[in-house]
Amino acid sequence: DDLSRKIESKIDKKLIFKSKRGGLKDGFKKGKVINEVLDKPTVMTLYKMITDHIISYVNGAISAGKESVVFWGVENNDVNVALKIYLVSTSNFKKREPYILGDPRFSHIKKGTKNLVHLWARKEFRNLTQCYEAGIPVPRPLHLTKNVLVMEFIGQGGAPAKSLLTSEVDEGDYFQAISIIKDLYHKAKLVHGDYSEYNIFKTDSGLVVFDLGSGVDLRHPNAQEFLKRDINNITKFFHKRGVSVEDPDELFEEIIK
């Protein structure tokens, strides 16, 4: 109707992408982002975050995954932030359930709960907070509204830092990657659940781990199984890159003992 059209045009103006830098991905133009990728409630949430002065504007798309999109946003003081938006429409509840059910921090959630999307965003925010407070290098969590998570931007000039996958790696990176798994376990009391070369940035000041939505509490019944998988994944990656690695089973035993 007329009112919602008015609101939408207002939103479009407010959310205008102010810069051509940052390179929108192919086929991921601004109109498409606003009109097709994000649903109306999410656009309203972004709009509210702007009128509440949490962010000043959204500057461009960084990544479009199946379940979430990441935008480069800017705060009122011109500081860059990353906005991770969990998509309501495409979210795969069945795939997420195993990472929520069994986590005592979310024990009130019933099996078969329909809208896990806000919960998933809350879970990632909580995991980031636990890590940040434990001194583990993660993007600093800044704000959460519904399915939109705002965190420190890792990278420069709106371009995200390279992941391990696209970086040159050495033994020092391997040691850091392993020490992060250990600190996650012993200090943050978490298992990442999706630990891989895709979810670790390599920056000038060291590795930074992110994408913590799958992270589970150590008391989760599958925590050790997830830990084993995390160790195997990262070990395989460094082995393939010619770094000499510790036996993953021994490493697992060493961590849980």
Residues that bind ligand ADP (CB under 6 A): 62-63, 65, 67-68, 70, 82, 84, 139, 151-155, 160, 163, 199, 210-211
| Strand partners of residue 156 | 159
Residue 43 touches which of Mn ion, ligand ADP, none (Cβ within 5-8 Å per kind): none
Q: Tell me which amino acid residue 145 is.
A: T
Minimum separation from the CB atom of position 100 to ligand ADP (A): 15
Minimum separation from the CB atom of position 154 to ligand ADP (A): 4
Residue 155 touches which of Mn ion, ligand ADP, none (Cβ within 5-8 Å per kind): ligand ADP
Q: Which residues contact 72 (CB under 8 A, 6 or more apart)?
A: 22, 58, 59, 60, 61, 62, 80, 81, 82, 83, 153, 158
Residue nearest to Mn ion (CB): 211
With contact defined as beta carbons under 8 Å apart, do 36 and 28 qualify?
no
Which is catalytic among the residues 170, 173, 204, 211? 211
With contact defined as beta carbons under 8 Å apart, do 217 and 103 qualify?
yes
Which is catalytic among the residues 194, 204, 217, 247? 194
- Does residue 249 carry a catalytic annotation? no
With contact defined as beta carbons under 8 Å apart, do 164 and 189 qualify?
no
Residue 246 touches which of Mn ion, ligand ADP, none (Cβ within 5-8 Å per kind): none
Distance of CA 35 to the CA centre of its chain: 23
Where on the chain is the footprint of Mn ion (CB under 5 A)? 199, 211
- Does residue 12 carry a catalytic annotation? no
Minimum separation from the CB atom of position 194 to Mn ion (A): 7
Residue 176 touches which of ligand ADP, Mn ion, none (Cβ within 5-8 Å per kind): none
Give CA separation, 70 vs 41, 85, 131, in Å. 17, 6, 20
Q: Of 82 and 216, which CB lies nearer to ligand ADP in the complex structure?
A: 82
Nearest Cα residue to 178 out of 130, 123, 232: 232
Residue with tokens 């659940």: 193
Minimum separation from the CB atom of position 74 to Mn ion (A): 23
Q: Of 34 and 148, which CB lies nearer to Mn ion in the complex structure?
A: 148
Minimum separation from the CB atom of position 2 to ligand ADP (A): 37
Give CA separation, 131 vs 30, 177, 190, in Å. 33, 14, 8
CB-CB neighbours of 104 under 10 Å:
10
Residue 151 touches which of Mn ion, ligand ADP, none (Cβ within 5-8 Å per kind): ligand ADP
Q: Of 185 and 201, which CB lies nearer to ligand ADP in the complex structure?
A: 201
Q: Of 130 and 199, which CB lies nearer to Mn ion in the complex structure?
A: 199
- The tokens for 53 are 């002065």
Residues designated as active site: 194, 211
